[in-house]
Amino acid sequence: MWALAPEGIWAGGMNMAAPGKKTAADKSGPNARRYPRFAIDARMQVRMFQSGEFQTCWGHSTELGQDGIGATLTGELQTGEIVSLEIPLPLSAYPLKVRAVVRYRDGLRYGFEFLTLNPTQRDMLRRVCEVLATKS
């Protein structure tokens, strides 16, 4: 269902950190993250409205934080596009279903910011990130 990403290297500005380790993020400046990101590999589904119809693509997450997720996808999205994500998470019997905006794109790598988290989803993400932070 899900697995932590293997030890990685810098590739195109994205750090594929060792399992459970924080991924690199600028700790100051306008691009500072509100929450740390942790390496995770989970197959995920992305739904978007393009060319007058709903379309679906698949991908694999690379990093997860309480406010967003990084992923490599099979489809093509534009920065600023609103999508629906379905992400299986550890500690949960059901996938996280959430709306998100594309904040970053580099080839097939994307960064998403979650838009519509309810309190239960926020709590689940917090707990998953706590578990990922303890993995070595």
| CATH (domain of 42) | 2.40.10.220
- Domain membership of residue 12 as a residue range: 2-25+35-134
Structure confidence at residue 28 (pLDDT):
56
pLDDT of residue 90: 87
Print pLDDT tens along the chain (136 aa): 444 433 332 233 333 344 444 544 444 566 667 889 999 999 999 999 998 999 999 999 999 999 999 999 998 999 999 999 999 998 889 999 999 999 999 999 999 999 989 999 999 999 999 999 988 4
* Domain-embedded: residue 20: yes
Number of domains in the chain: 1
CB 41 within 8 A of CB 30: no
Domain presence at residue 30: no
- Output the CA angle 92-130-93, nearest 5 degrees: 5
**Residue 95 placed within a domain:** yes
Q: Are strands 41-50 and 2-3 parallel, antiparallel or unpaired?
A: antiparallel
CB burial string 86-105: b at 16+ within 10 A, e below: bbbbeebeebbebebbbeeb
- Amino acid letter, 80: G
Residue 99 lies inside a defined structural domain of this protein: yes
